[in-house]
Amino acid sequence: MEDNIKCISTSCTLDCWDSCSIVAKVKDNKVLAIKGDPRNHVTGSFLCKKGMKHIDMMNHPDRLRKPLVKENNEWKETTWDEALDLVAYRLDELRKTYPTTALLHWNHGGNVGLLKNIESRFFNAYGGVTVPVGSLCAGAGNEAQRYDFGRPLSHDIKDVVNSKTIIIWGRNPMNTGVHMVPFLKEAKKKGAFIILIDPIETETRKLADFYIAPYPGTDGALALTIANVLIKEGLADNEFISKYTLGFEEFKEYVDQFTLEEGSSITGVPKEDILFVAEKYSRNKPSAIISGFGVQRYTNGGYTIRAIDALGAITGNIGIKGGGVNYNNRIMDDYVDYDFLLGESLRKHHRTVTRPKFADFLLTEKDPEVKILFITRANPITQCMDTQKMIKAFEKVEFKVTIDMFKTDTANLSDVILPCRHFLEDVNVICPSACHNYLNLCNPVVEPDPWVPSELWIFNELAKRLNLDNFPIKDHYWWIGRVLKPLKELKGISLEDLKNGPIDIAGADRIPWEDRKFKTPSGKFEFYSTTAKEEGFEPLPIYKPISVRPSKEYPFYLLTPHTKDSLHSQHFVMTGEGEIPVAYINREVALELNLLEGDLAEVYTETGSLKCKIEYSENLRNDVIMIYEGWWLQKGGGVNKLIPEKYSGIGKHAAYYECVCNIKKVSH
Ligand code: SF4
């Protein structure tokens, strides 16, 4: 190695399926290059497009380095002391006057580092505040798998090479979670048959041998119809069902109504295709399902994932090599001291806000009214539904603080912005992803120059000013040692071990539920979930039609998936001058509407409108318009202007895809 060049181990902190291990080459406090760390056998040496932008993001000219305070609607740079004194003063005044739930702390997955959760301990030590529950991401599916299995657990993606049939359901690994692709290709080379189910014919179609496109929001009905075929055609694994599941008879009775005719009419999928998928999945075993988050972005989302899970249990494709219903992975729950990290026992007050109803809550809640908003790791103005309502709600709150690296749409509407570090400048722990079991430490790669603090420093400084008991003023390494105590005790893995690079804490050969001991109350896979019933939901994975269908007024479904170029809104800071969002539309339909490629058009819904540029797509159904989410409002975007506030019961999940729209040409 050339003189003075160091290789430092870290990890991508973006909220992505893959959690790539990274090696950074550093000289004289400059990052020369980053690449994947091949010691992580899943993510290997390559990083995706977003990963390759990390250095540019860290060095971006728009990055904030000094605290900003708004005065007379103008931003003014200030010192850290002044900014923190002001924030501490407002927090102190609030706790003297109101219950501390008059402060709402809004956070999300802008950075998935474990230590970012120290902010929750801060607010619990402060007295307990209003916090979000529910999800804008994967929550409905996580809850669904909690009901069925007791916890979401996925196979290491390497195991897919043992599968003979693979159903990729509503997921697009060619765009997001790209490290799955080499394993899918290897499985295919070994003879696996790949089925893609998605209303959009995504790039992943290139990997698939068979493709079906149900109407948006009908995946649950499709799964229940497949289930009925499996049962009726004698394709079920009766031994697995009788030994390891609960509630099969009730489930069987329920799915009886989902005949091929009925299923085909609900989903728009030909009967023979449904039959083909059922036969392939059950006869050509082991079979894996890899399910995405898109299928649960509807009001019926939780039930949909439950219906998909049921297919794994009916066919005995659970707890075996090459099987599984892979959705998410909560493997770290046993190894982190979340009680200490979050400090929930410290709080004296507590109130929750349902994430997809954020704007509504701010506008209507009176007991007490929200006086301070404190935002971390999130950009709700761009990312929450119904942007106009969100802005109105935001403006109603007296004092807003945002911690961010950039002046995002949310930061821009705040009163104080506190800049923070890029992950290459910070210390953190990245837990295993949905597709592998590597635990990573983010070692600090460079010192920020000019200096900016970590969020831990910010909360330490605020805690000192507020004299908070029970918020230890410590450094990152102390916190890591403390919260990963169970990992040390159960696995013997220490902080020093983690400093050297990624550690596989479970092994690629671990098969979830191999012992068939599920973490449900019955210890079985639960077709009939008493937990769901106790929590106010249907105990069976039922099908409920979504609330909208294309009509004369709004003839298109509006789907807003993730682009491969940005993690939600984060990378749209790089959007160039004059660029505008793109509305993708089926070529034939566009021509009927006299819309040419490059034309300007307004996409509109009952909630709002957005100006876009037209691009044709050969891969879209004729009843779908697609616009990628994440584009900033201040840069001419904001797809959530179009989307009404709706959510699923299970998981309180944002129903982003439950939206219909229309489109018309505009001249400017
Ligand atoms: S965004 Fe995902 S795939 Fe890309 S570098 Fe980060 S973890 Fe890896």
Nearest ligand 1 atom to the CA of 54 is 5
290 and 165 part of one domain: yes
Beta strands in 101-239 (DSSP E): 103-107, 130-133, 165-169, 193-197, 210-212
Mean pLDDT of 564-589: 94
CB of 435 sitting under 6 A from ligand 1: no
Query: Which pLDDT score is estimated for 626?
Result: 97
Residue 564 has pLDDT above 70, yes or no: yes
**Distance of alpha carbon 146 from alpha carbon 500, whole angstroms:** 34
Q: What's residue 577's pLDDT?
A: 87
Does residue 524 lie in a domain region? yes
* CATH for 122: 3.40.50.740
| Residue 458 belongs to a domain | yes
Q: 610-647, pLDDT tens digit by residue?
A: 999 999 998 899 999 999 999 999 999 999 999 999 99
Ligand 1 pocket test: pick from 16, 23, 43, 571 the residue with the most ligand atoms within 8 Å of its Cβ.
Answer: 16
Q: State which amino acid sits at residue 658.
A: E
Q: Taking 80 as the threshold, does the pLDDT of residue 559 lie above it?
A: yes
Confidence of residue 196 (pLDDT cuts 50, 70, 90): very high
Whether residue 248 sits in one domain with residue 310: yes
Q: What does the angle CA 391 – CA 396 – CA 400 come to, to the nearest 5 degrees? A: 80
Please indicate, yes or no, whether residues 208 and 260 belong to a single structural domain of this protein.
Answer: yes
pLDDT tens digits for range 59-69: 999 999 999 99
Cβ of 50 closer than 6 Å to ligand 1, yes or no, is: yes
Percent over 90 (pLDDT), the chain? 95
Cα–Cα distance, 183 to 162 (Å, whole number): 10
223 assigned to some structural domain: yes
Considering the domain architecture, whether residues 393 and 452 belong to the same structural domain is answered as: yes
Report the share of the chain in percent with pLDDT over 70: 100
Q: At what angle do helices 455-465 and 118-126 cross, to 10 degrees?
A: 10
Query: Is the domain of 101 the same as that of 168?
Result: no
Domain containing 278 equals 155-327+515-534
Q: What is the CATH number of the domain that holds 171?
A: 3.40.228.10
Ligand 1 close to Cβ of residue 12 (< 6 A): yes
Dihedral-angle region of residue 667 (phi above 0 means left; psi in -120 to 50 means alpha; beta otherwise): alpha
CA of 330 to the centre of ligand 1 (A): 19
Indicate if 207 and 302 belong to the same structural domain: yes
For residue 36, tell me if it sits in a domain: no
- pLDDT given for residue 330 in this prediction: 87
Residue 57 counted as domain residue = no
Determine whether the shortest distance from the Cβ of 571 to ligand 1 is under 6 A. Answer: no
Tell me if 149 is assigned to some domain: no
In whole numbers, what is the pLDDT of the chain averaged over residues? 96
**CB of 313 sitting under 6 A from ligand 1:** no
Q: Is 141 helix (H, G, I), strand (E, B) or coil?
A: helix
Q: Is 520 in the pocket of ligand 1 (CB under 6 A)?
A: no
What's the mean pLDDT in 431-438?
92
Q: Total domain count for the chain?
A: 3
Q: Which of 584, 527, 504, 626 is nearest to 41 (CA)?
A: 504
DSSP state of 620: B
> Which domain CATH number covers 565?
2.40.40.20
The answer, yes or no, to whether any atom of ligand 1 lies below 6 A from the CB of 57, is no
Encode pLDDT of 213-264 as tens digits.
Answer: 999 999 999 999 999 999 999 999 999 999 999 999 999 999 999 999 999 9
Q: Where are the beta strands (DSSP E) in 29-139?
A: 30-36, 68-71, 74-77, 103-107, 130-133
Residue-wise pLDDT for 129-169, tens only, equals 999 999 998 999 999 999 999 999 999 999 999 999 999 99
- What is the whole-number distance in angstroms between the Cα of residue 54 and the centre of ligand 1? 10
Ligand 1 centre distance from Cα of residue 661 (Å): 32
CA distance 409 to 266: 40
Instruction: Provide the token pair at 596.
Output: 């040419």
User: From atom 7 of ligand 1, which residue's Cα is the shortest distance away?
Assistant: 19
Q: How far is CA 110 from the centre of its chain?
A: 10
Pick the atom of ligand 1 nearest to 51's CA: 5
Residue 644 lies in a domain: yes
Q: What is the mean pLDDT of residues 412-437?
A: 96
Please state, in angstroms and rounded to a whole number, the distance separating the CA atoms of residues 292 and 109.
17
Res 668: pLDDT: 74
Atom of ligand 1 nearest to the CA of 52: 5
Query: Do 231 and 317 lie in a common domain?
Result: yes
- Taking the C-alpha atoms of residue 11 and residue 442, their distance in angstroms, rounded to an integer, is 5
List the end-to-end C-alpha distance of the chain, in Å, as a whole number: 56
- In the DSSP assignment, the letter for residue 496 is H
Angle at 129 between CA 116 and CA 302, to 5 degrees: 70
Q: How many CA atoms lie within 13 A of 456 on its CB side?
A: 22
Same domain? 463 vs 570: no
Task: Give the CA angle between residues 111, 116, 122 to the nearest 5°.
Answer: 145
pLDDT at 346: 98
Residue 440 Cα to ligand 1 midpoint, Å, equals 13
Radius of gyration of the chain (CA): 25
> With 80 as the cut, is the pLDDT of residue 386 above it?
yes
pLDDT at residue number 227: 98
**Alpha carbon of 37 to ligand 1 centroid (Å):** 12
C-alpha distance from residue 563 to each of 49, 50, 164, 571, 626 (Å): 11, 10, 30, 10, 11
Q: What spacing in Å lies between the alpha carbon of 427 and ligand 1's midpoint?
A: 18
Mean pLDDT across 354-370 = 97
Residue 41 in domain: no
DSSP letters for 221-276: HHHHHHHHHHHHTT-S-HHHHHHHEE-HHHHHHHHTT--HHHHHHHH---HHHHHH
Q: Are 523 and 576 in the same domain?
A: no
Q: What is the pLDDT of residues 163-184, one digit of tens each?
A: 999 999 999 999 999 999 999 9
Cβ(133)–Cβ(292) under 8 Å? no
Nearest in space to 87 (alpha carbons), one of 106, 68, 66, 110: 68
Kindly state whether residues 175 and 323 are assigned to the same domain: yes
211-226 tens-digit pLDDT: 999 999 999 999 999 9
Atom of ligand 1 nearest to the CA of 433: 7
Beta bridge partners of 403: 376, 418
Q: Report cis status (omega within 30 of 0) of the bond before 132.
A: no
Which residue's C-alpha comes closest to atom 5 of ligand 1? 51
Same domain, 240 and 159: yes
Please report the pLDDT score of residue 355 as a whole number. Answer: 95
| Phi, psi (degrees; rounded to nearest 5) at 264 | -65, -40
Rounded Cα distance, 522 and 501, in Å: 39
CA atoms within 13 Å, Cβ hemisphere of 265: 6
Residue in 512, 186, 161 with CA at minimum distance from that of residue 326: 512
pLDDT band at 1 (very low <50, low <70, confident <90, very high): low
- Residue 586 C-beta-side C-alpha neighbours within 13 Å: 16
Angle formed by the axes of helices 301-314 and 139-148, nearest 10°: 40
Alpha-carbon span 372 to 468, nearest angstrom:
18
157: Cβ contacts below 8 Å, ≥ 6 apart: 42, 179, 180, 183, 326, 435, 436
With the most atoms of ligand 1 within 8 angstroms of its CB, the residue from 11, 12, 175 to mutate is 12
Residue 667's pLDDT is: 86
My answer on whether 163 and 297 are in the same domain is yes
| pLDDT on residue 251 | 98
Q: Whose CA is nearest to atom 3 of ligand 1?
A: 48
pLDDT given for residue 24 in this prediction: 98
* Cβ of 585 below 6 Å from ligand 1: no
